[in-house]
Amino acid sequence: MTLINDNFLLNNKTAVKLYQQIKDTPIFDFHCHLDPQEIYENKNYDNITQLWLAGDHYKWRLMRADGIEEDYITGAADDYDKFKAFMEMLPYSIMNPMYHWCTLELKRYFNEDVQLDKVNISKLYKSLNKTLKKSTHKPQGLIKQSNVTVVCTTDDPCDDLKYHQLLNADRKVPFKVYPTFRPDSYVFLNADSLGQKVSQLETATETTIQDLSEYITALKARIYYFDRHGALSSDQSFEHTPTVHLSTEEATALFKTLQANESVSEADQYALAGYILTELSKVYKELGWVIQFHLGPTRNNNTSMYQQVGADSGFDSVGEQLSAKALNSLLDHLEQHNALSDTIIYPNNGNDHLMVQATAGNFSNSEHRVQLGAAWWFNDTKEGMEQHLIDYANVGLLPNFVGMLTDSRSMTSYTRHEYFRRILCNLIGERIEKGEIALTNTTIVQILKDICYNNAVRLFKVKEVKEV
């Protein structure tokens, strides 16, 4: 028996039944790192390495863990040799989600049933590359066959959004691609970054920025620009939760200090970030955007490798647990200033799931819903997802969960949604068979479809997309 079969990860009869009823539910991809230019240009990939390994720091970390030389990871080695190095490592990734993800991707997009320790790598490489020459395996074809209705990319505030405009004007594209406003590098500032951010904003807004007020005004102008071009959300990531005690005068003074190329403490950086974030959040609230917070990772920890290969290359870590007091204070401050929107919070440290969901319950009401986001980054494992669902349900309403995110740079990562759905069905099926849930099949199936798709449609308020 091959690893991937109809009952993969479904360990009870009820789970099998439920998964068959929800497996064709569409995907609403509300957070990813796909390149809109790549989607629009819709070119065939030269080879599987270009599609499958380029930019995938999940895979790169495992290759380094196996002692593979960097030349075969991010270096100048031949694409086949990179693929070969990865495939030789992959059988040893058992118990890591990559083992399942890769096998799923090979099966779903290439119809390759492979036992990883027996595969003929050269033959597989040729077969995959042959398939990649087909029109079905261009970026748009891969997204279409994944049954995706909406893709929300992650975009710099100064991006002109050219490719989003082109994509959404093209009636042949069967899905929507919306930008997401990602301002964290404009919110969390230091003496080295401020000048660059000011210059970029001045160019994008055709204005002159001399102080904090004008800086915030320029950022707000970019929010409105994104909104006119279909944005549904803002997304920001911080290692720690921004603090919210600064007055306007104090924030202005800190901004001036940075303008003078003088350093400030990390505490002051987070305080200034909290002030700027509050002002931006007032506009998010006005526009009805969903706000996403990715909190906790400590990034670019290996200095020599950062200098060699740059950011987002596999040298980030699970951060320390978040401060419940700081997170509650931020949300409370936003609510008091009419700046709290529908909010999704993704902690990088899995130990924070229960705390975040309990905190979310303090600020959810008929006007805005705050909730724990999907098991993110180091937590999107089988066991991580299971525990996340349990933590979510224990102090909240699981049927209201907005569901899985892709968070990927690869067009073939949509199998992560299948992975999540199988785990979800197995968990619910298990509880039903234990006699812990007694609802009609119709109700259970609707709950599952809501988690997998409908809740996102409702939360992000996309008029062009219907619930199922």
Domain with residue 120: its CATH number is 1.10.2020.10
Task: State the total domains in the chain.
Answer: 2
Question: In the prediction, which pLDDT does 242 show?
Answer: 98
In a domain? residue 28: no
Torsion, Cα of 152, 157, 158, 160 (10° steps): 30
In a domain? residue 21: no
C-alpha distances in angstroms, 212 versus 85, 186, 200, 251, 272?
50, 12, 15, 8, 10
Sheet holding 176-178, edge to edge: 27-29, 148-152, 176-178
Question: In the prediction, which pLDDT does 2 show?
Answer: 82
pLDDT beyond 90 at 149: yes
Tokens standing for 328? 């509650």
pLDDT, mean of residues 18-43: 98
**Among 137, 161, 196, where does a domain finish?**
137
Exposed (0-12), middle (13-18) or buried (19+): which is 430, by Cβ within 10 Å?
middle
> Are 189 and 125 found together in one domain?
no
Measure the CA–CA gap between 70 and 72, rounded to whole angstroms: 5
Residue type, 7: N
> Are 349 and 445 found together in one domain?
yes
Measure the CA–CA gap between 352 and 400, rounded to whole angstroms: 19
Contacts of 254 (CB under 8 A, 6+ apart): 246, 264, 268, 271, 272
Tokens standing for 442? 């119709």
Measure the CA–CA gap between 435 and 131, rounded to whole angstroms: 47
> Are 102 and 228 found together in one domain?
no
pLDDT confidence tier of residue 464, bands split at 50, 70 and 90: confident
Write out the H or E segment, with its range, that includes residue 124: helix 121-132
> Are 216 and 305 found together in one domain?
yes
Question: In the prediction, which pLDDT does 267 show?
Answer: 98
In a domain? residue 26: no
Domain assignment of residue 75, given as a range: 44-137
In a domain? residue 402: yes
Q: What is the DSSP letter of 75?
A: S
pLDDT beyond 90 at 108: yes
pLDDT, mean of residues 77-106: 97
pLDDT beyond 80 at 415: yes
Question: In the prediction, which pLDDT does 11 show?
Answer: 98
How do residues 239-262 score in pLDDT, each as one tens digit? Answer: 999 999 999 999 999 999 999 999
pLDDT, mean of residues 185-202: 97
In a domain? residue 271: yes
Contacts of 113 (CB under 8 A, 6+ apart): 2, 4, 107
Question: In the prediction, which pLDDT does 1 show?
Answer: 60
**Among 104, 137, 170, where does a domain finish?**
137
**CA-based end-to-end distance of the chain:** 34
pLDDT confidence tier of residue 463, bands split at 50, 70 and 90: confident
